[in-house]
Amino acid sequence: MGIVGALVAAILAFTTVNEQIVKPRTVLASVNGNDITRRDYWRWQGVQLIEQVNQYSRLAGLLPADQAGQYRQLAAQAQTDLNSLWGSTDTDDQALQRMVDDQVMVQYADDIGIEVSNNEVDRYILNRFSPEDAPLIPETPTPTLIPERAAFASETAAAAATATSTAPPPSPAPTQRPLLAPPVMAGDPANPAIPVTSPDVATPDGAKASPESVASPDSPASPAASPEVSPTLNADQALQTAEAGYETYRDSVFETARISREDYETWVARPQLIRQRVTDTLQAGIGQRGEQVLAAHILVGTQELAQQLRAQLDQPGVTFADLAATQSTDTGSAANGGDLGWVTFGELVKPFEDVAFSLDPGQISQPVQTEFGWHIIRVDEHVSDRPYTEEQITALRERTVQQWLEEKSAIADIESDVAATATTVTSVFEPPAGAPPPPSPTAPTDPAPVAPEPTSASLPRPPG
């Protein structure tokens, strides 16, 4: 009996040490020697899951019952993941990669002159709970549109308004502003997996949710009463509102996620603020117009086939559009005769881009190899200064930040069990911003042969 007792005690001691010391301290990733332990991951992911539960639940409460079900299911799944998070050895690769990317940004932000003080982090946290009409931190002003881009924006808005008036309203997507979600409160007795918002929970704009204003997820949202116009808060009132909102958030979320204020600043708030600063700084250098080419391409899998098709283009009666429609594996552009629309610098993989921007209007390239295959490129127009569309601006902004992150990740000493998303090579092409959509299957077609209705849009973009 003494031996059995000692064995049981040893097993219990080992289990305790493993659960409370070894497992939480296991290093999941490291950036230049700065470790991300499993405990850090549990805390960070706990905050994200809590806010997902509330975001999805809130959306479900704003929708009619026949549309709310999918969001209630997403909320329930996030709640299940939260309940099983602490103590688990399972890791969401995307979540861990986000933490790695955050640390890369934190450590290399000073390369572009960004430094963030502790006071700025404190202010940033409170600002997330300030009234919408009285923020503690002024928003970055939007640059004035040049006339051509203003016209593009008006055309886009008009098209969107027309589409909205003729199509059923789309289901809203969950917000991507994690700090703005209200905290998890008492569970819904009818569905314990989905927490509901307490009548006294601070909302992102600093207001309080009253019982009458909280819609039931099981019933259609009723028309809201005409809101009362409230005076704009002064600076002291806005700060008090933000502090009250943060305290409510802290008291519920911090305990549930088992995260301290210091860890919250280190792993959540400071990375978010620095990511925002890095993004604003890098995107500030993007103008509203630049060099562009109007291009088309044919994509095939082998050099031999590409050379054969290029030789055919020199023969009478053979057109680029016909070969693209019948031979190109880029299903997104084949139905349009290979047309890619206007392309800017930074949208395409470098070998493609180098050749496309070296061609004069009317020229067709020799076969060009990228990781996607072999391309034959035709340039129809080449202008040195053309206004960007809204889609191009968005693509350039995203690509500028991603490219900076890729460059810094390449020089950083990163150890992780997951492959860096910044260097992942995609095997599916994506169209450049503003590329012409494929024709509708019901639309009349030209006499020239066309490819079957495309199954996916595709175009060469840089990896990641």
1-48 residue pLDDT tens: 777 666 666 665 555 555 667 799 999 999 999 999 999 999 999 999
Token readout for 125 is 């946290």
Give Cα 325 to chain centroid, integer Å.
33
Tokens of 363: 């020229």
Kindly list the domain boundaries of the chain, sorted by start residue: 1-168+177-218+234-285, 290-415
| 291-318 core/surface letters (b: 16 or more CB in 10 A; e: else) | ebbbbbbbbbeeeeebeebbeeeeeeee
Tell me the pTM. Answer: 0.68
Fold type of domain 290-415:
Chitinase A; domain 3 (3.10.50)
CB of 105 closer than 8 Å to CB of 274: yes
Q: Categorise residue 385: left if φ over 0, alpha if ψ from -120 to 50, beta otherwise.
A: beta
Tell me the Ramachandran region of residue 208: left when phi exceeds 0, alpha when psi lies from -120 to 50, beta otherwise.
Answer: beta
pLDDT score at 191:
38
Instruction: Say if residue 243's pLDDT is above 90.
Output: yes
Residues 376-432: pLDDT tens digits? 999 999 999 999 988 899 889 998 999 999 999 999 999 987 754 444 445 566 768
Token pair listed for 49: 């899951």
- Report whether 248 contacts 204 (CB < 8 A): no
How many Å separate Cα 438 from the centre of its chain? 25
Q: Which of 221, 199, 202 is nearest to 210 (CA)?
A: 199
Q: What is the DSSP string of 274-325?
A: HHHHHHHHHHTT--SEEEEEEEEEEEES-HHHHHHHHHHTTSTT--HHHHHH
